[in-house]
Structure 1
Amino acid sequence: MNELARTCPPDAAGAPRSTPGSAVASDGYRVVATAGVFEPGFRGGGPIRSLRFILDTLPDDLDVTLITRDRDLRSPVSYPGLSGRLLRRDDRSAVFYLDPFAPRHWARLLRHVRSRPVDLLYVNSLWSPFSVVSIVAVASGVLRVGAILLAPRGELSPAALGIRSRKKRLFLTVWAPLLRRLDVSWQACSRREEEQIRAVVPWAKVMVNGNECAVPEDLAPPAEPRDGPLRLVFVGRISPMKNLATALEAVAGATRPIRFDIFGPVEDEPYWARCRRIVESMPAHVRVTYRGELPAAEVLATFGRYDAFLFPTLGENYGHVIVESLAAGCPVVCSDETPFSELIAEAGGAVVRPATAAAFSAVLDRLADRSVAERAEAKRIAAERYRIWREQSRELNVLEHARRFCR
């Protein structure tokens, strides 16, 4: 099997598709990016969609190699036919699928990365082993780069730091001085995240860029709502950060009939066991169904079938599922821990303050009292407000912005 294969972005099922074309330009601004998971995986959630959008919208004179693991999050098996290969997505980007335990992969990767000067190292996640290894490679002189941009992807929010906080704080006491010595720049997806980064790393040079929305332009109209119980959906990783337990307590506390469907990978088994116990004690007028993992290609169509997206998250640096829900015409009922509170309220949803189960229950009862016509109007408003927001929020591609910022 050849080391270098040419592909375009994955098809609807997530598998790469072969395509002919010329080799990537060798005289542009060269970026090496790292991420723990990428397509055709989908369990990593929003960061995967961010990276896909970044790679799909690159300026012509950028050349990006993304280094990622050869399997999906928590998967014991590699993607068929991809392990150890460098695949061209198009003339400007390629993806290297690495098995960290295969020495031949490291040798092959090192030859590719060191074949030409690297202008920017773009690492996604503060804690990921991919980030740690690549930054240590720079610090030790194994890899020479012009600049480093680190995207913590919400990992420095108070809620995120509160999970295994002792281990994270200890790591930062060692890691932060090295990042400062290397003159690392930071990417925030919102002003909120910028503040969170500065609260932990006061010396940080922060570039704010939230242009990471990968929703297609040609969306179908929102699906018509049905008569009967309020149809709610939760789409996200099943982990404490996404706060599914509060969503379940909220629907249990509502007095109106509700149908609540849950989609997402189980990331934390003890937390999921807690959620299942809440489900087992649901009142008779509430029906809850866990529908398993949801491939990225099915997210928009799924949102379109529901009256509202219930999402009491403890914190989002961006919140791709919020954008996707609105794009599909599904209003959002959410905590005030995202960059989109104003948009959510304008788009026929609700921002719940304080984000208690009782407060969410009261909002759900109000939504359940809407007529079918009112639910249809709310869905129309959500899709329309999304379109207006999308037109007003266009920014530079993140890596084009970084080329200017990291000088």
Structure 2
Amino acid sequence: MKKKVLILNGQYAPGYKGGGPIQSCINMVENLSDNFDFYVLCADRDYKDEGPYKDIKINQWNQVGKAKVFYMSPEKQSLKGFEQILNSIEYDVLYLNGFFSPIFTIRPLLLRRMGKLKNKKATVILTPRGDFTGGCENKKLKKYGYIYLAKILRLYRDLVWHATSEIESKDIKDKFPKAEVFIAPNLPAKFIAKEARVTKKPGELSLVFVSRIFPKKNIKFALEILENISEGDVNFDIYGPMEDEAYWAECEELIRKMPSNVNVRYCGEVEHKDIPHVFERYHAFFFPTLGENYGHVIVEAMMNNCLCILSKGVTPWDDYIEALHIGAKLSKRNEFISIIQNLIDMNDGAFKDKLKYAREYISKKTEANNIMILYWKLLTNGEEN
């Protein structure tokens, strides 16, 4: 009999504004549904939206892909609401996403701590989804205060931590030294190789940024680098939800000061289904993030013939950076400037050589069979398949 896995995450399909965690959950369901029955609890609307999704049944179970999904209305997301739903379904694994999620992680853990959940035998798994990876510096006092309180309340006792990289495992151990950590990379979407649509002329460069407009994603740093590009014509298009208006105002000030050879545009939000078509129109994805435990958007860029200019030492993709000489530590601003200038000067032949390596690289990295074995062990508490 298949084990039942109950996933809790703030958003699920058709949502996309919550970023990578949504895709992580979708990929897990789609890859593992032959071996597990998946149920999902999520909000009835996308991140920060005022109204619910269209064409769903609210506060009822919906068949979405290979999972049954319960879209909770705001009034249902109380402790009592979670208690009712969690006690109305049988599950072998309770899989929580996001350490700091106040509703879909903290409330279920509080119910467990208070003894309100009937299912005492279920394995509880928590994946921080990058909350510790370059993320605690934002609202630092509030976040560290919560970590201190959570330790006192023992909210995270007797659960398994799922880290998606060695970086994230170390971050978890730094905060919770006695944590039981299981490492399994995010399951990827299926990679289908295709030829590049863009050509590369020396003296021209087309860059893109696709992510939330938020300090952790570090778009301001990217703009500061481009401010120092004096040779060649650069187009830099920015896509993503406007999550921090004050931060974006600082970015707009930099955009106004750009040299005449650098053209920057904000292009609004983009739905997940359209992201591949965005990436395939650009030479490179400029993403100097402060930290990613995985970075689905990085993988999607690689899959769609868009080179990735990344921060070194804060994502699982340092071997890509080193092989292509296309990233640097954030403290090495001159190296980023040099990388951009080298790409500007590059001809189509050299550009296609880099893309060829990038396709081979991501093809190997997204081979799912070995990763699926790890997930089997994670979700079955070490049982052999």
TM-score, normalised with respect to structure 1: 0.86
Letter in 1 for 2:75: F
Is 2:318 the partner of 1:305?
no
Q: In structure 2, what is the equivalent of residue 341 of structure 1? A: 318
Equivalent residue number for residue 117 of structure 1: 90
Residue deviations 1:214-245, cap 9 Å, x none? 2x333432213243521111111111101000
Q: How many residues align?
A: 376
Amino acid at match of 1:237: R
Q: Give the match for residue 266 of structure 1.
A: 242
Query: How does 1:162-201 map onto structure 2 within 5 Å?
Result: 162-179=137-154, 182-201=157-176
Question: What is the CA–CA distance in structure 1 between the aligned matches of 2:298 and 2:230, rounded to whole Å?
Answer: 26
| Aligned pairs (5 A) from 1:316-395 | 316-336=292-312, 337-346=314-323, 348=324, 350-391=326-367, 394-395=370-371
Match of 1:50 in 2: 24
Match in the other structure for 1:134:
108
Distance 1:259 1:104, change over 3 A: closer
Q: 1:156 deviation in Å?
A: 1.4
2:365 alignment partner, SS class:
helix
Contact persistence 1:147–1:406 (CA under 8 A) = no
Which deviations, in whole Å up to 9, do the C-alpha atoms of 1:238-291 show, x marking residues without a partner?
Answer: 111010001001111112221111111111111001001100100001101111
Bigger CA drift: 164-173 or 370-379?
A: 370-379
Q: Which runs of 5+ in 2 are unaligned?
A: none
How many angstroms apart in 1 are the aligned matches of 2:218 and 2:151? Answer: 29
Instruction: Select between 193-202 and 293-302 the one with higher mean Cα deviation.
Output: 293-302
Letter in 2 for 1:35: N
Query: Cα distance, 1:177 vs. partner?
Result: 4.2
| Aligned twin of 1:275 | 251
Residue 292 of structure 2: SS of its match in structure 1?
A: coil
Residues 1:390 and 1:380: Cα distance change in structure 2 (over 3 Å): same
- Distance verdict in 2 for CA 1:278–1:106, change over 3 Å: same
Contact preservation (8 Å) 1:307, 1:379: no
Distance 1:398 1:105 in 2: 33
Cα contact 1:253–1:357 (8 A) shared by 2:
no
Cα distance change of structure 1 residues 209 and 345 upon mapping to structure 2, 3 Å threshold: same
Deviations 1:278-324 (A, max 9, x none): 00100001101111111111112211111111111000011111111
1:84-142 deviation line (CA, Å, top 9, x unaligned): 2311235x6211100131489965x7555434532211100111121011111222222
Q: Which amino acid aligns with 1:121?
A: L
Determine if contact 2:289/2:310 at 8 Å carries over to the other structure: yes
> Hey, what does 1:315 align to over in structure 2?
291
Partner of 2:213: 238
Matched letter for residue 344 of structure 1: I
> Which of 15, 24, 42 is residue 68 of structure 1 equivalent to?
42
Structure 2 CA distance for aligned equivalents of residues 151 and 41 of structure 1 = 19
Q: Give the Cα separation in 2 of the matches to 1:132 and 1:174.
A: 12
Partner of 2:227: 252
Residue aligned with 2:301, SS: helix
Distance 1:264 1:394, change over 3 A: farther
Higher mean alpha-carbon deviation, 291-300 vs 273-282, is at 291-300
Contact between 1:335 and 1:355, CA under 8 Å: does it hold in 2? Answer: no
- In percent, how many aligned pairs have the same letter? 30
RMSD: 2.3
Question: 1:160-211: per-residue Cα shift (whole Å, max 9, x none)?
Answer: 1111111111111121344466401101010111011101110100010113
User: Quick check: 1:248–1:279 contact (8 Å CA) kept in 2?
Assistant: yes
Give, in whole Å, the separation in 2 of the partners of 1:308 and 1:349: 13
Query: Does the C-alpha gap of structure 1 residues 175 and 111 become closer, same or farther in structure 2, counting only changes over 3 Å?
Result: closer
Cα separation, 2, equivalents of 1:41 and 1:244: 23
1:340 is aligned with what amino acid?
A: W
| Shift of residue 342, structure 1, vs aligned partner | 0.4
- Say if 2:327 and 2:336, in contact at 8 Å, map to a contact too: no
1:154 to 117, 127, 130: 130
Which whole-Å CA distance do the structure 2 matches of 1:181 and 1:385 have between them?
37
Give the letter aligned to residue 93 of structure 2.
Answer: L
Q: In structure 2, how many angstroms separate the alpha carbons of the residues matched to 1:106 and 1:98?
A: 13
Q: Residue 381 of structure 1: CA displacement?
A: 2.4
Contact 2:200 2:348 (C-alpha < 8 Å) held by counterparts = yes
